[in-house]
Every structure is written in structure tokens, then in C-alpha cells.
Amino acid sequence: MANQKQRTLGIIGGMSWESTESYYRIINEGIKAELGGLHSADLLIHSVDFGPINTLQETGEWEELGAMMASSGTRLQAAGAQGLIIASNTMHKLFDDVEAATDLPIIHIADATIDAIKKQNLSKIALLGTQFTMTQDFYKQRLIDAGLQVLIPAEDERAEVHRIIKKELCVGQFKDSSRQYYVDVIRTLAEQGAEGVILGCTEIGLLISQVDSPIPVFDTTDIHAKAAVAFLLSQD
């Protein structure tokens, strides 16, 4: 496999850069594991400035954000990308904008996660993420359409899960108290019947791992990055 040619993958990243760093590491580790030696991934990364994007998210300016994401996709295509990933769960709300602006295959983070869940034959799944990801149809409905029953935290818990993501994880703060809060939320959802939990924000995996959870954890960053490795090595 050492002579296998890679495709070129474009990453729309920087949302936040902390999780994009995880993508870069996992993808390169995957390529090295598959191809050996000094091989690394053939990647193009547009790392956006997350500050103004976060502001537009919180004020609901999704049309403007869609134009920004589409622009990022077209720039990566012009630079030679043969496929794309959006390194953020929340920004998959704008998946269709990017898809319409390019003629490239885009690896959807929820679809890759669904595949991982189905491999474990689970049907009732908890979802953690930003308020947008936990409550809006762009993500949750995709899981439901795949035959999964989705549980989300109570309203006050959703607010705190969101706050920890935006105020702590996205700025590189990882507090034991916040880890414990997430663990308590997961335990509550498990008691409600959740058979597994989706870490549906690319930063949550920086705080929570399988050892913290009483039920199987589906780390979307890890799953998405490994799907990217498969794309890079696929000749389809």
C-alpha cells in the first residue's frame, strides 16, 4: 500500500481551531497507519476566524454564515480539493450551502456517526452539542430519519452544555467540574434509556472520553476524521 495515491481533501476548519487540530492529528495518524513510513495526509485547510462566526451564530445570521461557508468551499475547490469536510457539527446546518456552491463530495459528520452507531446495533441514542445541534432539525432529524430515537438533555442542562462548549472548550479550557457535569448529564440520559451518546460537538471529545461514560461514546471528531482517511485512500 506504500505506493497508493491519495486524493486531496479540503477541510473547512477553525470552528474552533482546537478541534481542527484534533482532525489534523487523527487524519495524519490514520494515513500513517495505512501507508506506513513517512506518509502523511494530502490536505488543504481553510481555518476561518471563529470570532465573527460565533457572533453570527448567536444572533441567528445563518444566511450570512451560509455565504461564508460556501466561499470557503469554493476556495478549497479552486486550490485543488477533490472532496470536503466541515470540521464542525453545528456548521453542518449550512451543509447544503457548501454543497450547492461546489461540485465536490462532502463527508457529512452525522452520516459517518450514524454508520458507527448502526455497527453497534443501537437504536436509542443521546445527543450532546451546541443548542443548535441538540434542538434543530438539520442534525437531529438526520438521525431520526436513519431510524434512531434521539434523547437530548433538559432545557437547563442544554444551556449549560452549550455554555461549556462556547465559553470553555472553544478557548482551550478543560475543567474537571465541567467534565463531571457532562458525565452527570450522560448518566441521566442513560437512565432514560440512551444506549449510547453522541459527542455532537467537535470540542466535547477534548473533555470527555469513553472512560468517563457509562454508555458507549461516539466521538464525532474521531469518527469524521477516520471517514476522511477512508476518502483520501479511496479511488471511487
What the chain holds in terms of domains, given with CATH numbers, is: 9-108+223-233 (3.40.50.1860), 109-220 (3.40.50.1860)
Task: Give residue for cell 448518566.
Answer: 187
Instruction: Specify the pLDDT at position 235.
Output: 79
Instruction: Specify the pLDDT at position 1.
Output: 44
The H helix count followed by the E strand count for the chain is 10, 7
Instruction: Specify the pLDDT at position 86.
Output: 98
Q: What is the pLDDT of residues 129-178, one digit of tens each?
A: 999 999 999 999 999 999 999 999 999 999 999 999 999 999 999 999 99
> Under a CB-based contact definition with an 8 Å cutoff, are residues 226 and 9 in contact?
no
114/116 Cα distance (integer angstroms): 5
- Average pLDDT, 10 consecutive residues per value, the chain (236 residues): 78 96 98 96 98 96 98 98 97 97 97 97 98 96 97 98 96 96 98 98 96 97 98 89
116/60 Cα distance (integer angstroms): 31
